[in-house]
């Protein structure tokens, strides 16, 4: 039979060659890649009485599908490989985590190329605004993934909306609807098995598609709130694992995109300087030359966007310098000053 996961084998193998670490998402909330709706379709085909796609989070059989050896959908897998965030839509955990890569001969769960497993891309359970259904699912699946693979990090894949457990923080939500989707940033991350927090940033989707400085103001306050909560309540890093802006937005221009990216990067660096919980950010999304036909509006082709490429390069350089400084201090202690410390202060334009 056809082995769909050979394509993922290749992606992991190539990432390994270039020392790139991958966050692999184990399913999707949205229909585009199959996602939870596909599990419900399988359940209905098996005669289950299902009334909502949100049954994915509560029905014992559907939860067993998530855990069990379910063969991957060829179409879903190859569609997901077109994107930088690899989403294994109908990939069950034992199949993926225990798979031996046909190119490297390394079991996925033993491969350091995998940085983390993501439980689900942007989970929502709108049928239960209290958040209890999704909370139970996160707890169960985080522990399950860890039981299969205790070596790798696990994160949820949340957009980062605040919920009922933190009424004082809902002011940072982009809209009132965000409180009704069944997610709860602080509560969701206070479970066993989750190693770092995740949040996304899409002001143009959540507030208004029309470009304005409000997007920049929201982005900064949204990030600072999550960084503060990760430090104060969670005791873990927070990674802003998706952020971007669509070229289809009214009033869009590449200069505004550069400003938005710079806002995200500066907020991360401000946290890094203080030893804060800002753990990083992942841009949605970089495309190689010749793949423009797949552009969903968020694509950045670096060869066609030199100013954006320069911002990304400078940010990468700057973080590398900070990491070098941190590694030295962690190894040798903080009583002596490392030469790079003065360099960072003198050349702050990096």
- In this predicted model, what pLDDT tens digit does every residue of 206-249 receive, in sequence order? 999 999 999 999 999 999 999 999 999 999 999 999 999 999 99
Structure tokens at 44: 């209905």
| Structural domain includes residue 251 | yes
pLDDT on residue 2: 56
Question: d(Cα 68, Cα 81) in Å, to the nearest integer?
Answer: 22
Structure tokens at 231: 């430090």
Count up the domains in the chain and report the number.
1
User: Three-class SS of residue 281?
Assistant: strand
Question: d(Cα 24, Cα 346) in Å, to the nearest integer?
Answer: 39
| Structural domain includes residue 136 | yes
Whether the CB-CB separation of 249 and 211 falls below 8 Å is answered with: yes
pLDDT-derived band at 274, boundaries 50, 70, 90: confident
- In this predicted model, what pLDDT tens digit does every residue of 319-337 receive, in sequence order? 888 877 765 444 433 444 4
| Structural domain includes residue 316 | no
Structure tokens at 334: 């903080």
The residue written with tokens 């996160």 in the block is 138
The domain of 109 spans 6-306
| Structural domain includes residue 336 | no
Catalytic positions, written as ranges: 122, 242
DSSP for 149-180 reads -SSSEEE--------TT-GGGGGGSSSSGGGG
- In this predicted model, what pLDDT tens digit does every residue of 40-65 receive, in sequence order? 999 999 999 999 999 999 999 999 98
| Structural domain includes residue 327 | no
pLDDT on residue 324: 78
Beta-carbon contacts of residue 62 (< 8 Å; ≥ 6 apart):
39, 40, 42, 43, 48, 50, 55, 56
Residues 147-151: contacts with CB under 8 Å, at least 24 apart:
148/93, 148/94, 148/97, 148/98, 148/109, 149/97, 149/109, 149/117, 151/109, 151/110
Q: Is the pLDDT of residue 87 over 80?
A: no
Beta-carbon contacts of residue 88 (< 8 Å; ≥ 6 apart):
8, 24, 25, 26, 27, 72, 77, 80, 96
| Structural domain includes residue 207 | yes
Q: Is the pLDDT of residue 66 over 80?
A: yes
Whether the CB-CB separation of 65 and 27 falls below 8 Å is answered with: no
| Structural domain includes residue 320 | no
- In this predicted model, what pLDDT tens digit does every residue of 181-211 receive, in sequence order? 999 999 999 999 999 999 999 999 999 999 9
Mean pLDDT of the chain: 87
Evaluate if pTM is beyond 0.85: yes
Question: d(Cα 157, Cα 141) in Å, to the nearest integer?
Answer: 13
Q: Which of 260, 314, 255 is nearest to 283 (CA)?
A: 260
Asked, as a colleague might, if the bond just before 254 is cis with ω within 30 of 0, I would say no
pLDDT on residue 284: 96
| Structural domain includes residue 347 | no
The CATH number of the domain holding residue 70 is: 3.20.20.80
Q: Is the pLDDT of residue 347 over 60?
A: no
pLDDT on residue 33: 76
């Amino acid at each position: 039979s056809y082995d769909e996961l050979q394509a993922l084998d290749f992606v992991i193998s190539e990432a390994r060659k270039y020392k790139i670490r991958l966050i692999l998402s184990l399913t999707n909330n949205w229909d585009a890649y199959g996602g939870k709706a596909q599990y419900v379709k399988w359940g209905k085909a098996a005669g289950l009485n299902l009334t909502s796609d949100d049954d994915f989070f509560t029905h014992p059989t559907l939860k067993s599908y998530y855990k069990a050896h379910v063969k991957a959908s060829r179409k879903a897998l190859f569609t997901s490989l077109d994107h930088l965030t690899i989403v294994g839509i109908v990939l069950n955990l034992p199949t993926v985590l225990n798979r031996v890569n046909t190119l490297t001969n390394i079991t996925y769960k033993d491969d350091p190329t995998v940085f983390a497993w993501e439980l689900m891309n942007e989970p929502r359970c709108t049928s239960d605004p209290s958040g209890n259904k999704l909370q139970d699912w996160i707890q169960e699946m985080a522990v399950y993934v860890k039981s299969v693979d205790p070596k790798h990090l696990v994160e949820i894949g949340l957009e980062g909306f605040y919920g009922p457990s933190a009424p004082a923080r809902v002011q940072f939500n982009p809209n009132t609807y965000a409180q009704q989707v069944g997610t709860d940033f602080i509560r969701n991350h206070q479970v066993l098995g989750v190693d770092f927090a995740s949040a996304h940033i899409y002001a143009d989707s959540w507030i208004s598609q029309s470009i304005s400085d409000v997007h920049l103001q929201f982005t900064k306050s949204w990030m600072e709130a999550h960084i503060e909560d990760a430090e104060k309540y969670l005791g873990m890093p927070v990674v802003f694992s998706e952020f971007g802006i669509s070229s289809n937005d009214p009033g869009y221009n590449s200069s505004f995109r550069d400003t938005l990216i710079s806002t995200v990067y500066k907020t991360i660096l401000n946290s890094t300087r203080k030893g804060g919980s800002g753990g990083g950010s992942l841009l949605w999304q970089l495309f190689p030359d010749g793949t423009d036909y797949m552009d969903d509006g968020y694509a950045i082709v670096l060869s066609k966007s030199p100013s954006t490429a320069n911002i990304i390069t400078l940010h990468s350089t700057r973080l590398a310098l900070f990491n070098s400084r941190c590694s030295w201090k962690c190894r040798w202690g903080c009583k002596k000053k490392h030469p790079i410390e003065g360099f960072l202060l003198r050349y702050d334009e990096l």
